[in-house]
Amino acid sequence: MVSGRSAAIAVVGAATVLLVARLIMGGQKKPARCVFCHPLNGVVYEDDDFIAFHDIKPDAELHILVIPRAHYGTIRELTATELPTIKRMHEIGQRLLDERGYAGDKARFGFHRPPFNSIHHLHLHCLGLPFRSRRAAIPFPENGSAWFMPAQQLIDSLAVA
Ligand SMILES: [Zn+2]
Ligand SMILES: [Zn+2]
């Protein structure tokens, strides 16, 4: 009986360690292979919760990505709880583009719709137009598509969720 009880204690102990580890990490695991969970080049902004950096393969004159430090795979994982996070990402992107002379029609913001994500870590594409080519514009249609969700559309849909 003693060994059974100590085994039970060991199991509870292990579960507690896992729970504490998850709490410390903010509830999100950082997958070892996710490039956005690790240091990035071309950073233009960062704070405790977000990082913004130049896309390594720009599709527009200016092409910045804004990511949360917390790991979310895609927009499908988001609920109303993440609404403030998405709004912050949009605000950061708008400010960065505005500071560089891209506002109104010259600025476009949006997310991949799964399964059409390039990198499996939530990121906001911030595009300062014009696009570099007609082909470069295809992934980012102004009014959204099966593969692209404008940032404002996502904010509106989370707000009513
Ligand atoms: Zn990640
Ligand atoms: Zn992308």
55-70 tens-digit pLDDT? 999 999 999 999 999 9
Catalytic residue among 63, 90, 112, 125: 125
Cα separations in angstroms, 47 against 88, 117, 140, 157: 11, 25, 27, 26
CA distance 157 to 151: 10
Q: What is the pLDDT of residue 12?
A: 47
Percent of the chain with pLDDT over 70: 82
The packing angle between helices 151-160 and 83-99, to 10°, is 160
* 54 flagged as catalytic: no
Q: In sequence order, what are the residues at sequence separation of 6 or more whose Cβ sits closer than 8 angstroms to the Cβ of residue 58? A: 132
Q: What is the pLDDT of residue 3?
A: 52
* Among 27, 116, 119, residue whose Cα is nearest residue 67: 119
Average pLDDT over residues 142-159: 96
Gap between the terminal Cα atoms of the chain: 51
pLDDT for 26 beyond 70: no
As a whole number, the mean pLDDT across the chain is 86
Domain-by-domain residue ranges, the chain? Answer: 1-30, 35-160
Q: How far is the CA of 51 from the centre of ligand 2 (A)?
A: 14
Q: Is the separation of the CB atoms in 136 and 53 below 8 Å? A: no
> Which of 17-26, 80-89, 124-133 is the least confident region?
17-26
Q: Which ligand ends up closest to the CA of 124?
A: 2
Query: 97-117 pLDDT, tens per residue?
Result: 999 999 999 999 999 999 888
Q: What is the pLDDT of residue 20?
A: 42
- How is domain 35-160 classified at the architecture level of CATH? 2-Layer Sandwich (3.30)
